[in-house]
Homo-oligomer: A and B are copies of this chain.
Amino acid sequence: VCGVSPRLMRIESTANHRVKGVKRLHRGRERRAAGRTILEGPKLLEAAVDAGVVPVEVYTSERTAAVERAAAAGAAVSDVSPAVLAALSTTVEPQDPVAVVAIPAFAPPNAERTIVLVDVGDPGNMGTLIRSAVALGWRTAVMGGTDPWGPKVLRAAAGAHFAAPLINVESLDAIRDAGLSTVATIVQGGVRPEEVGAGAAVALLIGSEAHGLPAEIVDGSDWKVTIPMPGPAESLNVSIAGAIAMYALGRRE
């Protein structure tokens, strides 16, 4: 037909088998089985591409600059209807595009400054901790808790997942075997973070929002630190406590 440029097939149906495959990645178990996760919106996609990640697939209803960059990097781009995009998205207000990326390999637990998230359950807090760690020059190890590659964690981390590899540990033995001193963060009774001995390679341990660190982990740690809270309410969000502790431990040297 004259005047009509060639056009790749657009996916219009949410029943399409590829759409169904991406939607399975909304669940943590499926992400781990596939070794893949999804990135929603241009910012996360650009952070991944900036870090040298080639997305496996990109789904879009409008070819934005972020999509063209991913295509130039080698990603397969599929045009989809707005309804399909909404189905691929995990949010009430879908962000275009939705990209599928391979979850990078975990790094070994040998970084000099590592924050260990022990059973952190809130995705926003975990993502903010990963973001703060990257900015402050720390590595992040995850020990239980929510899936670090879930959509809400990725959103709160604002691309930090791609700036430094995450570490996955099943127990603190791996941390100690790597020669790191363990520093448990507790609500009261610890020393100021600045008082931890300078020079040592440290693993800062942060517990869950609801319960803090398990008693056996606190008991077995080399240092116990508490952020002084002189105010009338002794309560800091876990992502705030972790960031202040990282900053203060970085001020030892």
Contacts and interface: CB of A to CB of B under 8 A. Distances in A.
Interface residues of A, number: 36
A244 interface: yes
A20 to B, nearest CB: 26
Pick the most buried of A160, A235, A240: most chain B CB atoms within 10 A of its CB: A240
A190 B136 CA distance: 16
Interface in A106-145: 124, 128, 131-138
A231 B164 contact: yes
Contacts of A250: 228, 230
A248 interface: yes
B159 A240 contact: no
A243 B244 CA distance: 7
A34 interface: no
Given A230-B137, A243-B240, A247-B227, A235 B158 contact: yes
Contacts of A227: 247
B239 A136 contact: no
Interface of A: 124, 128, 131-138, 156, 158-160, 163-164, 194, 227-237, 239-240, 243-244, 247-248, 250-251
18 contacts: A124-B124, A131-B233, A131-B237, A132-B236, A135-B235, A135-B236, A136-B229, A136-B236, A137-B230, A159-B233, A160-B235, A163-B231, A194-B251, A228-B250, A237-B239, A239-B240, A240-B240, A247-B248
